[in-house]
Amino acid sequence: MPSNKKDKPRYSADPTHSYGFLTPRFWHGMGLGTWLSLLATRQCRLSPRSMLTAASITPVSAFNSMMGVWSNFRYGRRIHRQVLAEPPLFVLGHWRSGTTLLHELLITDPEHTYPNTYECMSPLHHLATQRYATPLTSWLLPSKRPMDNIEAGWDKPQEDEFALCNLGLPSPYLCWAFPRNGPVHSEYLDLRQVPKRSRRRWQALLKLFVKSIAVARNKRIVLKSPPHTARVRWLLEVFPNAKFVHISRDPLKLFPSTLRLWKSLADVQGLQPNLPEYEWMEEEVLKNLVVMYQAYREDRELIPEGNLCELRYENLVADPKAEISRMYDELSLGDYARIEPGVDSYIERTRDYQTNRFELPADVKARVRDRWGIYFDMFEYGEVGSER
């Protein structure tokens, strides 16, 4: 990364919404104990702008804890007894590889459902409060995601990794709360070095969260969190009949887009003074892909035949209907005709959407090729990142 602070940082974030202290951060969904623990274990030097945000999280987290007790009393037994209508469908892939696009297409199926933003932000009590809270608080949210201008809102699909954070589980995503301190909980990316007892707790809370979504809407639940790409073996222990769809993309596009995403999240979710470059992120992005795909390469052999489909972003964008139809056939998800009207509608709504464009310097291209050789090889991308 460039060291001259006067230079414009590479792949800089460009938030499209002013995140004031009233705008909910994901950390607003924590219980009081989880929030105080986060403050106690991190060097939480706050920026003046973020002091009000942090001050607002404390009473909200106390509310979350109280409502969590009530929700557990009201729904706990029902959640534990809930039987899933269908095994979950996991969307796998690196950040910015097209997982959001694929997720959005899959949830147009009327027989699918998903964890929405409110449920991921309020996992302790969403069953008790969602009906009342979302109409009253929707004005607090930005209309677009800051990293890619995709529509945002309480009802939009969200990564369940944020729900796991708010349930008190360690996660690499917690780095965005205090980005000055660099990466945290890297061992939870693939869970391989996590003690068995802690991993069992992670699995149990994921299962409870998924079952809580089924209590609200018992259909096939489509889950999308990039870290799950490295956790297939542990997901199969919880959901042995789960289905998986993986999407890959030109790694020379993944790298700058992921950096921009991470910086944007640190800017809008962080509670510390902004850094112009977040110098630790480039190395962390490079390292994380290798960890993810070493794990995925080992674990995908464990997936039962007929429960994994692999797509390429480039093909999905070029002919989404053909790729989704192929996926439905390979995963035995049912008649594609059921989802076709929704796919057509989504394509029409997003026809004018433009992806971000990046020009990588030659030295960065060389570094990506060198460090991410596993990805180039696994998904057959050419030497310059184009398809062979």
CB-based burial of residue 276 (10 Å sphere; 0-12 exposed, 13-18 middle, 19+ buried)? middle
Determine the 3-state secondary structure of 170 from DSSP: coil
Q: What are 291-314's pLDDT values in tens digits?
A: 999 999 999 999 999 999 999 999
The mean pLDDT of 264-281, rounded to a whole number, is 77
Q: Is residue 209 domain-resident?
A: yes
Q: Is residue 2 domain-resident?
A: no
Q: Is residue 77 domain-resident?
A: yes
Q: Is residue 13 domain-resident?
A: no
The mean pLDDT of 29-55, rounded to a whole number, is 81
Phi and psi dihedrals of 17, rounded to 5?
-140, 140
Backbone CA torsion sign across 377, 380, 383, 385? negative
CA distances from 382 to 98, 155, 247, 359 (A): 19, 39, 17, 18
Q: Is residue 3 domain-resident?
A: no
- The answer to whether 174 touches 38, Cβ cutoff 8 Å, is yes
Q: Is residue 322 domain-resident?
A: yes
3-state helix, strand, coil in the chain (%, to 5): 55, 5, 35
Check which CATH number belongs to the domain holding 331 and give it. Answer: 3.40.50.300
CA distances from 361 to 54, 261, 268, 278, 385 (A): 38, 19, 27, 18, 14
Q: Is residue 60 domain-resident?
A: yes
Residue 180: pLDDT band (50, 70, 90) is: confident
The residues, any chain, with a CB within 8 Å of residue 233's CB and separated by 6 or more, are 295, 298, 299, 302
pLDDT of residue 145: 59
DSSP character for 151? Answer: B
| Residue in the block written with tokens 């309480």 | 154
Domain tally, the chain: 1
Q: Is residue 175 domain-resident?
A: yes
What's the CA gap between 116 and 213, in Å, rounded?
A: 9
- Domain span at residue 68 reads 26-378
What's the CA gap between 168 and 251, in Å, rounded?
A: 32
Q: What are 105-140's pLDDT values in tens digits?
A: 999 999 999 999 999 999 999 999 999 998 888 766
